[in-house]
């Protein structure tokens, strides 16, 4: 295992700053996910940790050892790529064994290590096949095997599941999580998929424009997003964000739309953005704020139902309700909202209040 410390690391491409003075510590044995949209700097950060990209400014430390200028092969890291990067002319056995062969590991030790890794990944029956004879999920298991067999202190994964279909992504996520628990190595995982981030990570660094917007546990980021970008990036359906102001009675107001807030949530007259997660509604009960809205669209999804509604004059919201709800398009419904589960952000800075 290793602790990775990024001390204000920066990457510039000419006049373009891809990563801007990043301070980040990844703990021993932690599963850290770098999450964000395309172009946010997450892959560049991963490549700097791997040594594949030169750091423009700052320092990179592995266990307090400065590796800023150390070449990739001396960093004891293993990378798993989106493209699998397997040798097409080699068998599965030869692909997995290749890193050990480069180290001139004894043949008997290579055979034992390859067999052990193949059993862990349930690909022992594929060892004599070539990559062209494998499915996408099988190829990704071979790529994982090639990384694991080296027994590195750090695993770096760059969107390794993005080429797989939905069912395979689920099974591979489970496999990667089990591997982390078994190996207890430090994992750094890049993705734009919030479901991967939420299910795999010990902590998530949400990135935008080369900057970390928030670093926290999945639960912390979801429950207490630092700003509207983070709030909108995590959650499906996406959080409802409504611009308005704090009314004299302390409630949120936008035109005819009103929603009670916790006492003292913000100063009356302040311009704010209200965040309401679609699942944070339920049947009316004491202590809950009342939300009335007209149903515009009903989308049954089997396990749950999504409602597109209009509240007040023009406030469009998406609500996620139990499958037992029998709402009809055009119907006016009333639901309960726990004021404590609402989110408020400054309308100018987008920062959490």
**So what's the pLDDT on residue 83?**
83
224 Cα distance to chain centroid: 15
pLDDT, mean over the chain: 95
pTM over 0.85: yes
Longest dimension (CA), the chain: 78
Q: Is 221 within the bounds of a domain?
A: yes
pLDDT tens readout for residues 206-250? 999 999 999 999 999 999 999 999 999 999 999 999 999 999 999
DSSP for 237-269 reads SPPEEEEEEE-TTS-EEETTEEE---TTSS-TT
Task: Check which CATH number belongs to the domain holding 300 and give it.
Answer: 2.40.50.140
Query: Do 274 and 131 belong together in one domain?
Result: no
Q: Which residue has the tokens 């307090």?
A: 64
Pairing of strands 203-208, 31-35: parallel
Q: Which residues pair with 187 in a beta bridge?
A: 31, 155
Backbone phi and psi for residue 348, each to the nearest 5 degrees, phi listed first: -90, -50
Q: Which residues pair with 253 in a beta bridge?
A: 245, 258
Q: Which residue has the tokens 């998406």?
A: 318
User: Residue 52 above 90 pLDDT?
Assistant: yes
Query: Are the C-beta atoms of residues 218 and 201 closer than 8 Å to each other?
Result: yes
User: Residue 100 above 90 pLDDT?
Assistant: yes
Query: Do 197 and 287 belong together in one domain?
Result: no
| 88-103 average pLDDT score | 94
Query: Are the C-beta atoms of residues 192 and 35 closer than 8 Å to each other?
Result: yes
Would you say the C-alpha torsion 40, 43, 44, 49 has a positive or negative sign?
positive
CB 349: neighbour CB atoms within 10 A? 10
Query: Do 76 and 122 belong together in one domain?
Result: yes
Structural domain of 66: 4-232
| 157-183 average pLDDT score | 90
Query: Do 217 and 267 belong together in one domain?
Result: no
Backbone phi and psi for residue 239, each to the nearest 5 degrees, phi listed first: -60, 145
pLDDT tens readout for residues 313-340? 999 999 999 999 989 999 999 999 999 9
Q: Is 351 within the bounds of a domain?
A: no
Query: Do 108 and 186 belong together in one domain?
Result: yes
Say how many domains are in the chain. 2
Query: Do 269 and 178 belong together in one domain?
Result: no
| 85-103 average pLDDT score | 94
| 191-201 average pLDDT score | 96
**So what's the pLDDT on residue 1?**
61
**So what's the pLDDT on residue 167?**
87
Query: Do 197 and 270 belong together in one domain?
Result: no
| 281-304 average pLDDT score | 96
User: Residue 189 above 90 pLDDT?
Assistant: yes
Which H or E element spans position 189?
strand 186-191
How sure is the predictor about 141, in pLDDT bands with cuts at 50, 70 and 90? very high
What span, in angstroms and rounded, lies between the C-alpha atoms of 197 and 195?
Answer: 5
Query: Do 188 and 320 belong together in one domain?
Result: no
**So what's the pLDDT on residue 165?**
87
The residue out of 232, 264, 283 marking a domain boundary is 232
User: Residue 293 above 80 pLDDT?
Assistant: yes
Q: Which residue has the tokens 């993705």?
A: 191
Query: Do 175 and 285 belong together in one domain?
Result: no
Query: Do 341 and 246 belong together in one domain?
Result: yes
Query: Do 60 and 127 belong together in one domain?
Result: yes
The residue out of 174, 202, 232 marking a domain boundary is 232
The residue out of 232, 251, 276 marking a domain boundary is 232
**So what's the pLDDT on residue 81?**
87
Query: Do 151 and 248 belong together in one domain?
Result: no
Query: Which distant-in-sequence residues (6+ apart) come within 8 Å of 312 by Cβ?
Result: 254, 255, 256, 257, 258
**So what's the pLDDT on residue 188?**
98
3-class state of residue 144 by DSSP:
helix
Task: Check which CATH number belongs to the domain holding 149 and give it.
Answer: 3.40.50.300
Query: Are the C-beta atoms of residues 2 and 28 closer than 8 Å to each other?
Result: yes
């Amino acid at each position: 295992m290793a602790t990775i410390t990024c001390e204000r690391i920066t990457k510039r491409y000419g006049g373009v700053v891809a990563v801007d003075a990043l301070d980040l510590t990844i703990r021993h044995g932690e599963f850290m996910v770098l999450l964000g949209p395309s172009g946010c700097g997450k892959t560049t950060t991963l490549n700097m940790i791997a040594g594949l990209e030169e750091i423009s400014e700052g320092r990179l430390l592995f266990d307090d050892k400065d590796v800023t200028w150390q070449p990739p092969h001396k960093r004891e890291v293993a990378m798993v790529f989106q493209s699998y990067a397997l040798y097409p002319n080699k068998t599965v056995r030869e692909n997995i064994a290749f890193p050990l062969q480069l180290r001139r590991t004894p043949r008997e030790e290579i055979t034992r290590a390859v067999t052990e890794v193949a059993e862990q990944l349930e690909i022992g029956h594929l060892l004599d096949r070539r990559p062209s004879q494998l499915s996408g999920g099988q190829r990704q298991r071979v790529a994982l095997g090639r990384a694991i067999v080296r027994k590195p202190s750090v695993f770096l994964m760059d969107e390794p599941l993005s080429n797989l279909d939905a069912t395979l992504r689920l099974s591979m996520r489970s496999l990667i999580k089990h591997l982390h628990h078994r190996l207890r190595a430090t994992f750094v995982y890049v993705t734009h998929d919030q479901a991967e981030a939420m299910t795999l990570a010990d902590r998530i660094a949400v990135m935008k424009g080369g900057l970390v917007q928030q670093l926290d546990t999945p639960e912390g980021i979801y429950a207490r997003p630092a700003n509207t970008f983070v709030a909108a990036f995590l959650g499906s359906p996406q959080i409802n964000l409504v611009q308005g102001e704090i009314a004299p009675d302390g409630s949120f107001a936008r035109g005819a739309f009103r929603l009670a807030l916790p006492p003292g949530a913000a100063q009356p007259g302040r311009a704010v953005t209200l965040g309401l997660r679609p699942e944070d509604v339920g049947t009316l009960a004491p202590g809950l704020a009342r939300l009335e809205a007209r149903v515009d669209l009903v989308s049954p999804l089997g396990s749950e139902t999504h409602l597109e509604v209009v509240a007040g004059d023009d406030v469009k919201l998406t609500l996620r309700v139990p499958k037992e709800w029998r709402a009809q398009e055009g119907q006016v419904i009333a639901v309960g909202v726990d004021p404590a589960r609402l989110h408020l952000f400054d309308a100018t800075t987008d920062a959490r209040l």
